[in-house]
Amino acid sequence: MRVTIDLDRDIIIIPDNFFKKIGEENEKLEKYGATAVDPLVRIWHSFFTAMDDTNNRLLTQTNAKTSTRKKKTVNVEETKKRIDKEKEIIAEKKAEAEKAAADKK
């Protein structure tokens, strides 16, 4: 699923079916005993994952279409732990961003 960040307008553009797709994925997670993921946490997670590895994940639009990245099998327990850790990191970074924005005012 593609999410676009518009740097000129400081907005995030999501597909019309974004919340529906996240809902379907959350149903699958809950079915197998994992915790549902907040849609905004999904965006934060993907953003920070990409930013942490820009050598491999910062792609031009043309290169993104021809990426040869392979899917890997997901371990539910590891994924649950990773998501919880990501939520903590996102909360910390969000607090830092809010503090920085407040300091500018």
- Summarised one tens digit per residue, pLDDT across range 5-50 is 888 898 989 999 999 999 999 999 899 888 888 888 888 888 888 8
| Predicted local confidence at residue 27, as pLDDT | 93
pLDDT of residue 19: 92
- Give exposure, 25-47, as e/b (b: 16+ Cβ within 10 Å): ebeebeeeebeebebebbbbbee
Q: Which domain holds residue 21?
A: 4-104
pTM for the model: 0.53
Distance CA 18, CA 8 (A): 22
Which phi and psi angles does 71 have, rounded to 5°? -80, 150
pLDDT in tens, 54-81: 777 777 767 666 656 555 555 667 777 8
Rounded Cα distance, 34 and 9, in Å: 36
Residue with tokens 């400081």: 10
